[in-house]
Structure 1
Amino acid sequence: MKRILTLALSLATVAGLQAQQTQKPPLHGKNWMAVTGKPLAATAGAMIFQKNGNAVDAACAMLAATCTMWDVLSWGGETQALIYNPKTGKVIAINALGVAPTGATPAYYKGKGYDFPPEYGPLAAVTPGTFGGLCLMLANYGTMSLKEVLAPAMDMAAGYPIEAQTANSIERGKKYISQWPYSKAVFLTHPGAEREAPEAGEIFVQKDLLNTLQKAVAAEQEALKNHKSRKEAIMAAYDRFYKGDIAREFVRGCQEQGGLITMEDLAKWKPVEEEPLHVNYKGIEVYKLQEWTQGPMLLQSLNILENFDLKSMGYNSTQYIHTLYQTMNLTFADRDFYYGDPAFNPNSAIKGLLNKDYAKARAKEINLTQNDANAGPGDPYPYMGKTNPYLHFLKERAALMDTTSGRKPGGFVPKHDAAFLQQSDLSSMYAVNDVDSAYMDRLWRGTTSVEAADKDGWVVSITPSGGWLPACIAGKTGIGMSQRAQSFVLDSALDPFNVIAPGKRPRVTLTPTLALKEGKPYLCFGVQGGDTQDQNLLQFFLNMAEFNMTVQQATEAANINTNQLWLSLGGSTIKDRQPRPGSILLNNNTPEKTRQELQKMGYHLSFGDRTSGPINAIFLDRKHGTIWGGSSNHGEDYGIGW
């Protein structure tokens, strides 16, 4: 009896420890769940749910609010979404990524001395996609009017208490902002003062943006008065944005500041619905967007990892970390060479890349004892019954992969920029002595995530981005232009699928995720952070699928990050974006034994306090008929459920 009592007490102690493991509590709801990058934006979603909107309505409201709050994006950016439609039992993919404008060619940018399109300013802009994507989702799958869904964002544009993260980003970026007259007028609310940006808690007013949103809503309301349907009225607002007076002012302001976007570019662009890509991982169907995003890299990784017994390795053991890293080496190498806008290339390799036999072949390439500093793209074409038409580019690419300059075997020689780290949001993430701060800024740059689910079965995962601070605002629209053109390349040897061309979408890092189990929604999840997104999302998924963590535990759990990839954002030269073989980010709590073992395997180690995201996720609990929300302990991401 004593032994049974002792065992019961031990189990109770373990359960108590598990209950206290997370720094933020899990969210529970019976009716709905709304999770996104800012607390006020999550509230916007809750407001829509409380008015009987569905998950699509709420997601659109959160998207609008995050854009208005400049949560590492704005209204001129891009939107990518996956939606589960309970009426059809299908997952829908929304492609609302802008395209390169007229005149945007490799010759144009090379003529200005660029190795890549610039990071900031009007020449970094693709056409705005978020407004169109929101209209498409709302019209086709929502239940409410644009006026209702935009109401929280319009209230915020009229004035909201700005939070410290955004206010400080404005201050850090004021040397750029001050060069752009329309941005300067909006953001530098205290011109001439030592601190020209708003202070945290100050009411931040965006009159021009409010006017733009009011014009869009007015077009919708006028259409309704003329007896148009809800969908037709929403698309009337769309037309005013892309073809009417809003478009004209956007184009005028863009071109005045040196940009290339034309009225024809806006009028020709359209958001589209697509078939998502998916793979089955041990009975779970995982869905991603097509290869104009980096999302398939996660699917490729799951296919490879199926060939290993991850559970027996143990969570974040040396062998588990090594296997993950080596898998990502291979899938990032494929991403960096084979991904791009499939509409511009009939020779897409994606079917081969997602072939299970291709994954088995790639898994056999993994060295189980050492990091492979020279891991490169594979050849998926034979798995499609074809011959690879790009082998000559792979040879040219090898010359760009020289990692000897300024590097040690298994790692890179870090540069130290303590001043940058201390004034930036990276200071809480990385040890100053272990990081090249400019590189890490590019690696982690940008975006937010929006996750929503309701009792009727609608589930939405959105990863919007673009137009982040320091943003160049187009005229009197209040709309910050996208900077996504920098994700193109100018040289086919880097990626023959992703060379810039007018009308083409860049290959982006933005990557929402949905997963189904037994044909029903199981998870939706997303994260911010540039090239690290699918790294973190892969580990989040494995935390739940392999290690039985709760959704909140999985969002907070320590992850690793690899830097052995070509950067998608930032930097003006090839050298700025080159892979850093063996460079790995580990959590501060990594045991000393694991550190030593990884160093012997050829890794160069950096450390951080929080390495998990910030991941936002929703778990659909079929056993209890409830909805769980998770939001990691990293950043300002927040959720509300009911």
Structure 2
Amino acid sequence: MLSRPELHGTFGAVSSTHWLASAAGMAMFDRGGNAFDAAAAAAFVLQVVEPHLNGPGGDVPILAYEAGAGRVTVLCGQGPLPEAATPAAFAALGLDAVPGSGLLPACVPGVFGAWVRLLAEHGRLEIADVLAPAIGYAEHGFPLLPKAAAMIDRLAPLFRDHWVSSGETYLRGGLAPASGERVRNPALAQVFRRIVAEAAPAKSREARCEAAIRAFYEGFVAEAVDKFFAGTEVLDATGRHNRGLLTGTDLATWRPAVEEPVTLSYRGRLVHKPGPWSQGPVFLQQLALLSGFDLGAMGFGSADHLHTVVESAKLAFADREAWYGDPDHADVPLAGLLDPAYTDARRALIGEAASSGLRPGTPDKRAPWLPPLADPPAPPEDPTWRDQLANGLPTVLAATVVRGDTTTVSATDRDGNMVVATPSGGWLSGSPVVPGLGFPLGTRGQMAWLVRGHNNGLAPGKRPRTTLSPTIVRTDDGRPCLAFGTPGGDRQDQWTLNFFLNHVDFGMPVQEAAEALNFHTDHVPTSFLPRQFRPRSLTVEEGVAEETATELRRRGHQVELAAAQSLGQVCATGPGPDGGVLAASSPRGSQAYAVVR
């Protein structure tokens, strides 16, 4: 029994990780906008109403399918590391890893530029229209989510005594607001209003978008960032006070790039992902491995099904660890990793028992190399805000860990345009609010290794490899099918893979595929500090058959049960089967909602 219906309409569809964002996106259709306007409006609202997971100082990959051109493009909103970010700079501070919090891991905030470039090139509406809902919620308030309230409460001592600009933004009389309390961010509202005002005199819609980008990256926003980073030392994950490396020049010299996606055909569907500066190709590597198995014949939820998918994930993610990185700065053997002969050899490694090692392959006969990993630290028995500061994820460390990673928005219109993105970074637990701006910067630099010779090694102007990974699917003959994503950090390309396999291999309608039993492995180290991993782990939601769990344990998997309906928040839209549009959203977390007309 589904907890939500699959939604069908004839006008437009939006699905996102917050109901207010989905409603804001739908309002853009009423103003005469298209899917690109709707997705951007929803994304800007997400920056306001999910500050514990993303913000204007973060990053985003955007996948866009323009029906008229019949092609998918990637807008890269992952900003690069600062020009001053060198291994020597961190070594001078006595560090062997980029901290997971503070100012040192900040990259150029790419999310604003990426969304505005999407509007300029594909949208119909003015930037003032698209920013209006976000300005309204920042100015007049929004109900604070329970996870955001828990995060602010845990960090209240840090905000009061150290990150005082964050305290001024998030605390009320020195205390954390309660779950459901109406919260405002007038400084952020003023930033968006000023950008709109400075862009208004430009002579065309496209010129106003470019003027907005200049206001952010060359104007008052960049000036505020530069002043804060140059003159402030803040407490970070090292336990010390450090200045950041980012400058106004780093922002002024950056613009979002448009790239071709990486693609793979799977059972009549052409799957599009961002490049290896994201973890996107790992989705394709898993599909390539799974194309050699008849998953449907195994039966959904069987031990064979879960074992085969998890063992394929281990191999693909091991290659991610060894080979992925910014292709503008590293020689990533992507063609070799997706070569059918290479895939066949890797598939032969999947046996009847759970594998225990990290086994990257040798594409193009090149030897893999993995940076050394420390043993995972034991979790604190009574975590404090200092333990929270040391964790690179926006996770509430408590007796029961409350995870949160990312946001998602997808939109499709009646013309067949589709867009999907996974905005993240710039969350309230990662870095202090920049005074006067109302938002912190992201901490994506923590994902780069402080080692020489690795494809994801830190270097000036280089993009750290991100976990963010939306997906667009078309038929092999080019017809649009689905645009989907989920929050989840490193687990995104397992949870969305399961959704896609549910739909394609097991024949589930889209909403059923989003609600079906979910699972993942944490066998491979996370991209976030402290880079935790659990070899042979297999986490599956309650509801899995007891005999399935027993058989998986017999095969060597360390099976752990998660609460029912707790893994992932898939959001999806696409054209309907008989014309029109469709949308689905996972009920997990009671937060993601889809809207259609």
| Aligned with 1:235 (options 188, 192, 210) | 210
Residue 360 of structure 2 is aligned to residue 380 of structure 1:
no
Q: What is the aligned partner in structure 1 of residue 315 from structure 2? A: 330
In the other structure, the counterpart of 1:6 is none
Asked if the contact 2:490/2:527 (under 8 Å) is kept, the reply is yes
Aligned to 2:198: 219
1:340-489 paired onto structure 2 within 5 Å: 340-345=325-330, 347-367=331-351, 369-382=352-365, 388=366, 390-391=367-368, 393=369, 397=371, 400=372, 445-470=404-429, 471-489=431-449
Whole-angstrom CA distance in 2 between matches of 1:335 and 1:157: 38
Q: Measure the CA separation in 1 of the matches of 2:335 and 2:550.
A: 39
Count of residue pairs the alignment pairs up: 572
What residue number does 1:18 align with? none
| CA–CA distance in structure 2, aligned partners of residues 503 and 402 of structure 1 | 27
Q: By percentage of residues, which structure has more helix?
A: 1
The offset of 1:597, in angstroms, is 1.2
* Change beyond 3 A, Cα 1:440–1:468: farther
8 Å CA contact retained: 1:286, 1:299: yes
Instruction: Compare 263-272 and 155-164 and name the one that shifted more.
Output: 155-164
- Residue 200 of structure 2: SS of its match in structure 1? helix
Q: Which residue of 2 aligns with 1:75?
A: 56
Structure 1 portions without partners, runs of 5+: 1-20, 383-387, 407-413, 425-435, 572-576
In structure 1, the partner of 2:392 is none
Q: For 2:231 and 2:20, how far apart are their aligned partners in 1?
A: 34
Q: Residue 554 of structure 1 is aligned with which of 510, 513, 516? A: 513
Displacement of 1:361 after TM fit? 1.2
Give the C-alpha shift of residue 556 in structure 1: 1.1
Matched position secondary structure for 1:504: coil
TM-score using structure 1 length: 0.85
Cα deviations by residue, 1:520-560 (Å, 9 ceiling, x for unpaired): 11111100010110000111000000111111111111111
Aligned residue for 1:351, secondary structure, equals: helix
The answer as to 2:588 corresponding to 1:604 is no
Unpaired segments ≥5 residues, structure 2: 233-242, 389-395
Q: Does 1:617 align with 2:597?
A: no
Deviation >4 Å, runs of 4+? 414-420, 436-442
Larger Rg: 1
The answer to whether the Cα contact below 8 Å between 1:586 and 1:611 also exists between their aligned partners in 2 is no
Tell me the CA shift for residue 71 of structure 1.
5.5
Contact 1:29 1:641 in 2 (8 A): yes
In 1: Cα distance, 2:17 partner to 2:574 partner: 18
- The alignment partner of 1:103 has SS state of coil
Other-structure match for 2:163: 180
Q: Report if aligned partners of 2:514, 2:570 keep a CA contact under 8 Å in 1.
A: yes
Is the contact made by 1:248 and 1:263 (CA closer than 8 Å) also made in structure 2? yes
Deviating more after overlay: 53-62 vs 202-211: 202-211
Matching of residues 525-540 of structure 1 within 5 Å: 525-540=484-499
What is the deviation of 1:50?
A: 1.1
Aligned to 1:512: 470
CA shift, 1:202, in A, is: 3.0
SS in 1 for 2:436: helix
Q: Find 1:502's aligned residue among 450, 457, 460.
A: 460
* SS, match of residue 293 in structure 1: coil
- Contact 1:162 1:199 (8 Å CA) reproduced: no
- Whether 2:10 is the aligned partner of 1:30: answer yes
CA distance in 2, matches of 1:371, 1:402: 23
Q: Secondary structure at the match of 1:222?
A: coil
Matches within 5 A, 1:52-63: 52-63=32-43
Query: For residues 212-266 of structure 1, what are the alpha-carbon distances to aligned partners after superposition, in whole Å with 9 as ceiling and x for unaligned?
Result: 111110121121xxxx221111101111111112210122123333222111101
Structure 2 counterparts to residues 159-174 of structure 1, below 5 A: 159-165=140-146, 166-174=148-156
CA gap of 1:41–1:324, structure 2 versus 1, over 3 A, is: same
1:175: how far off? 3.3
CA separation of 1:71 and 1:639: change in aligned 2, threshold 3 A:
farther
Contact 1:173–1:469, Cα closer than 8 Å, also in 2: no
C-alpha distance in 1, partners of 2:485/2:41? Answer: 17
Secondary structure class of the residue paired with 2:305: helix
Q: 1:385: which partner in 2? A: none
Q: Which range moved further: 248-257 or 546-555?
A: 248-257
Contact 1:246–1:477 (Cα < 8 Å) also in 2: yes
Check 1:248–1:308 CA distance in 2 against 1; reply closer, same or farther (3 A cut). Answer: same
Aligned-residue offset at 1:90: 0.2
Which position in structure 1 is the counterpart of 2:580? 626
Pick closer, same or farther for the CA change 1:110–1:174 going to 2, 3 Å: farther
Indicate conservation of the 8 Å contact 2:418/2:574, yes or no. no
Cα distance between partner residues in 1 of 2:548 and 2:26? 43
Q: Deviations over 1:405-452 (max 9, x none)?
A: 99xxxxxxx8685989xxx9xxxxxxxxxxx9789969x541110100
The question of whether the paired residues in 1 share the 8 Å contact of 2:141 and 2:185 is answered with no
- Tell me, yes or no, if the aligned pair for 2:416 and 2:575 is still in contact at 8 Å: no
Label 1:44 to 1:377 Cα distance change in 2 as closer, same or farther (>3 A): same
Aligned CA distance change for structure 1 residues 254 and 479 (closer, same or farther; 3 Å): farther
Paired residue for 2:179? 200
Change (3 A) 1:247 1:375: closer
Say if 1:75 and 1:128, in contact at 8 Å, map to a contact too.
Answer: yes
Query: Which residue pairs with 2:258 in the alignment?
Result: 273
CA distance in 1: counterparts of 2:179 and 2:358, whole angstroms: 46
Whole-angstrom CA distance in 2 between matches of 1:544 and 1:502: 42
* Cα distance change, pair 418–180 in 1 and its aligned pair in 2 (3 A): closer
Structure 1 CA distance, aligned partners of 2:466 and 2:374? Answer: 25
Is 2:297 aligned against 1:301? no
Matching residue of 1:314: 299
Cα distance in 2 between the residues matched to 1:79 and 1:402: 29
Q: 155-164 or 213-222: which moved more?
A: 155-164
1:513–1:160 distance in 2 versus 1, CA, 3 Å: same
Identical amino acids, percent of aligned pairs: 34
Conservation of the 8 A alpha-carbon contact between 1:38 and 1:71: no
AA in 1 matched with 2:106: A
Task: State yes or no: 1:588 paired with 2:588.
Answer: no
Equivalent-residue separation in structure 2 for 1:515 and 1:464 (angstroms): 19
Q: CA offsets per residue over residues 308-364 of structure 1, 9 Å max, x none? A: 11111111211111111110110000001100111112x221111111221111101
- Tell me how far apart the structure 2 counterparts of residues 332 and 417 of structure 1 sit (CA, whole Å): 30
> Quick one: which amino acid aligns to residue 456 of structure 2?
N
Check whether the contact 1:41–1:62 (CA below 8 A) recurs between aligned residues. Answer: yes
Call closer, same or farther: CA 1:280–1:440 in 2, change over 3 Å: farther
Aligned to 1:125: 106
Corresponding letter in the other structure for 1:198: P
Measured against aligned partners, the alpha-carbon deviations of 1:159-187 in whole angstroms (never above 9, x if no partner) come to: 21322322232112223333212111111
Single out whichever of 603-612 and 210-219 deviates more from structure 2: 603-612
| Secondary structure, counterpart of 2:328 in structure 1 | helix
Does structure 1 conserve the Cα–Cα contact (< 8 Å) formed by 2:32 and 2:125?
A: no
Q: Note the aligned Cα RMSD (angstroms).
A: 2.4
Aligned counterparts of 1:330 and 1:157: Cα–Cα separation in 2: 44
Structure 1 Cα separation of the partners of residues 192 and 255 of structure 2: 19
C-alpha separation in 1, matches of 2:548 and 2:397: 25
- What is the one-letter code of the residue matched to 2:342? Y
Q: Distance in 2 between matches of 1:148 and 1:415?
A: 46
